[in-house]
Chain A
Amino acid sequence: MAQRYDALGRDFTIHASVCTISSVIYLHIAAKSFQKNLAYRAANVAGILTNTFFGAIYISIYTALFRGRGDVGGLDVRDAVTYAIIAQSLLMVMSAFGNRELSEAIVKGQIVTDLSRPLDFYLYWAAIDLGRAVYFLLFRGAPTFVIGMLIFRGRLPADAGTWLLFFSSIVTGTLLSFTFRFIANSLAFWTTDARGILYLTNTLLMFFAGFIVPINFFPAWLRTLAEALPFRGLAQVPINVYLGKMTGPALARVLGEQVLWLIAWVLIGRWVLGRMVQRLTVNGG
């Protein structure tokens, strides 16, 4: 079999055995990343309280908003309360505030060390983010969800199938979030200060995900725009799946679109990475 390489020298030939061994390595990396996050227990307790507090604020706003109305944008008051609880639970899982780990590694030149390992740089960071997301799902999202549900009496999904679809859409959302943040962080390489770009991209991400205001409440034109963008996969899609508002062929279409976005972002991310490596000479170090 002829071997194929890309500009980064990655072997594109697929060997089944090699793939199994290396995926184990990336699982080890994800596990270490999980463990790293585990070190910040006190911060996490404070985080759960903050998420619950903001959830309470949203819920009191929605309760006031719904007074005398049965339905806003397809959601009733209990749906809206549930939306607020889940949105707060998913915030950190989806890294909605962004994280600058990668852009800092790039700016400080740390990536030269990472590139000298027998690893795929992109998968390496994907594994790190996976470990982070699993940590936040278990230790931030789950407690925030349980506390919110107990205090504010949100809705529970209709059946086990809904739970399953809900979790699949969380997985897709996490991957969308990572692939997008990888590109945003990589842009740090071309600017002297990455913060400007990251503020902008994170605001886009948070708003169009439906974390700040449910997309269901958007005016028609803005809703059309939000639904054309992939960011809603981080919050609006999983929550609507959970509430049973997105089912059947409509849901299949949305998830299909998100997979296409995912592929596009992986390709763009890898392309940007290739450009970045080619430019490493200029910065020296």
Chain B
Amino acid sequence: MISVVALKKEFRVYRHHRGALGAVRNLVTREAHVVHAVDGVSFRIAPGELVGYLGPNGAGKSTTLKILTGILVPTDGEVRVAGRVPWLQRTEHVRGLGAVFGQRTGLWWDLPVIESLDLLRHIYRVPADRYRQNLRLFDALLDLGPFLDTPVRSLSLGQRMRADLAAALLHDPMLLFLDEPTIGLDVVAKERIRGFIRAINRERGTTVILTTHDLGDVEKLCERVIMIDHGRLVFDGALETLRQRFGEGRVLVVDFETPPGPLSLPGAETIRQEANRVWLRVAAHGSVAGIVPLLFRDQRVLDLSVQEPEIEEVVRRIYEGHLLADEAG
């Protein structure tokens, strides 16, 4: 469906001098430096995948999406989406594409929702019966009915997002780009949107690329995660692999009958102890099963639980750049 090879996008930023003299200098001299927004990213996405595209602000996510949409022309590299080069065949390309940019609306601000949907039907040349069918389905899944006749400017954020999702999918796109689709929504609204995205992906086989800072979206929706930082690919694989590879290992919480003495266990490190309870960190590649029998050797164990590393923690650590150095070393 999507193939990206060694994608690069550079742009020039001109230095601005401050103050009145600086303004004059800006007119005469143009000191440029090159920013590598996307710097050699490659990946392939198969039809029907639901991929989380993650990275801190300024990592190059939006630039990649704009290139995949055909709005921007890359500096170098190859991109094929359904066999097409997006920026060369932009019109044909976007016909098979749906996009929701969470912070903006694709609907007309002053018109009732239904009027915008009707306009999109004409723009994408959706046959009348298919349009009605889709509208009925989206109404069932997103409960659009109560606000179809309301002007977009009067909608709540959650309603607007639902309307925007419906608008992006009216023409049955094979590919859906979602840029922060749950930003600013409450828990209930988020769940509804996630349920809809999952349904569209599973039932219609729509390929979805999801950009988000809400890791709840990723955990609930994405089996695969592509992560970029400073324009480079940092990780591409299953969410579970990300957790295993970059997590600081699982934590074993053990309740002993009596306070234990200092524990010395191969492959586990005591990170905390409170009375009878001990927190042990199992090395990222270590085995919990190997450690548990050792616990029972000297003492009575009342209870035992394993904590998986929190994905938020994992991602935070990657964003902060701690783990890249480890990987390199």
List A residues at the B interface (Cβ < 8 Å): 5, 7-11, 21, 24-25, 28-29, 32, 35-36, 39, 108-110, 112-113, 115-119, 277-282, 284-285
Contacts and interface: CB of A to CB of B under 8 A. Distances in A.
Contacts of A24: 122
B108 A32 contact: yes
A115 B93 CA distance: 12
A116 B97 CA distance: 8
18 contacts: A9-B86, A29-B123, A32-B111, A32-B119, A35-B111, A36-B108, A109-B101, A112-B104, A113-B104, A115-B71, A116-B71, A116-B99, A118-B91, A118-B124, A281-B63, A284-B58, A284-B62, A285-B62
Interface of B: 9, 11, 13, 37, 58, 62-63, 66, 69-73, 86-92, 94-95, 97, 99, 101, 103-106, 108, 110-111, 115, 119, 122-125, 151
B59 to A, nearest CB: 10
A155 B269 CA distance: 98
Nearest to A39: B110
A36 B111 contact: yes
Nearest to A113: B106
Contacts of A11: 89, 91
B236 to A, nearest CB: 23
Question: What 6 A-B pairs come out closest when comparing CB atoms?
Answer: A9-B90, A28-B122, A9-B87, A113-B106, A118-B95, A116-B99
A8 B90 contact: yes
Given A8-B90, A116-B94, 7 more contacts: A9-B89, A25-B122, A25-B125, A28-B119, A32-B115, A113-B104, A115-B71
A280 B123 contact: no
Contacts of A119: 91, 123
Contacts of B108: 32, 36
Nearest to A119: B123
Most buried by A among B13, B63, B119: B119
A8 B71 CA distance: 7
Given A11-B89, A116-B94, A280 B110 contact: no
Nearest to B151: A39
Contacts of A277: 71-72
A5 B70 CA distance: 13
A119 B122 CA distance: 11
A112 B119 contact: no
A25 B73 CA distance: 26
B123 A118 contact: yes
Nearest to A21: B125
A98 B213 CA distance: 39
B222 to A, nearest CB: 22
